Amino acid sequence: MSETKRSIFYYFLCILLIFLGINGTCGGLLLFLKPDGSLLGMQQGWLEHSPFNNYFIPGILLFSFMGLLPLLTFAGLVKRFSWKWLNVLNIYSDKYWAWTFCIYSGIIAIMWITIQLIMTQYFWIQPLIIFTGLGIIICALVPGVMNHYTKSNLP
């Protein structure tokens, strides 16, 4: 795949990770700062069929897995940090850890919203987050992006 096409998918992947990370970080902060959900316009009754009494724990999980994880992944894609401790969680030994974490971020986003739809009521941003997760996975699986983050091709 040409450098131009790889760059398009690479930049789109980066934009999606930043979007997911900022939304997760901001949403998570607002939920654990005000666990009744009022800062996001969420109702306490939406948690009726969930294991949570308030939004504090969901806020911490949102902040960590939908906020920090995509932002860490973005930083890894751009800066190519060689943090060996993250390779412990890398199930694709031939790929750079940040590429694998793109797949994780996309799957987590889709799972998060799917579980949220089962346990709570519909919220306007849910379809956008599902499509963001799908977009992250699709962009990461583009052959040019995959090849770029194969360890044998890294500088």
Express each pLDDT in 117-142 by its tens digit.
988 888 889 999 999 999 999 999 99
- How would residue 2 be classed by pLDDT, with cut points 50, 70 and 90? very low
Token duo for residue 122: 């519909």
Residue 147: give the domain boundaries: 3-153
pLDDT of 7 higher than 80: no
* pLDDT at residue 89, rounded to an integer: 94
CA 93, 79, 108, 61 torsion-angle sign: positive
- How would residue 155 be classed by pLDDT, with cut points 50, 70 and 90? low
Q: What is the number of domains present in the chain?
A: 1
d(CA 37, CA 52): 12
Instruction: Report DSSP letters for the chain, one per residue.
Output: --HHHHHHHHHHHHHHHHHHHHHHHHHHHHHHHSTTSGGGT--GGGGTTSS-SSSHHHHHHIIIIIIIHHHHHHHHHHH----GGGGGG-S-TTB-HHHHHHHHHHHHHHHHHHHHHHHS---TTHHHHHHHHHHHHHHHTSHHHHHHTBGGG--
- How would residue 41 be classed by pLDDT, with cut points 50, 70 and 90? confident
d(CA 140, CA 150): 12
Token duo for residue 61: 């999980």
Express each pLDDT in 65-118 by its tens digit.
999 999 999 999 999 888 889 989 999 999 999 999 999 999 999 999 999 898
Measured in degrees and rounded to the nearest 5, phi and psi for residue 141 equal -90, 0
* pLDDT at residue 67, rounded to an integer: 98
Express each pLDDT in 42-61 by its tens digit.
888 888 888 999 999 999 99
* pLDDT at residue 6, rounded to an integer: 58
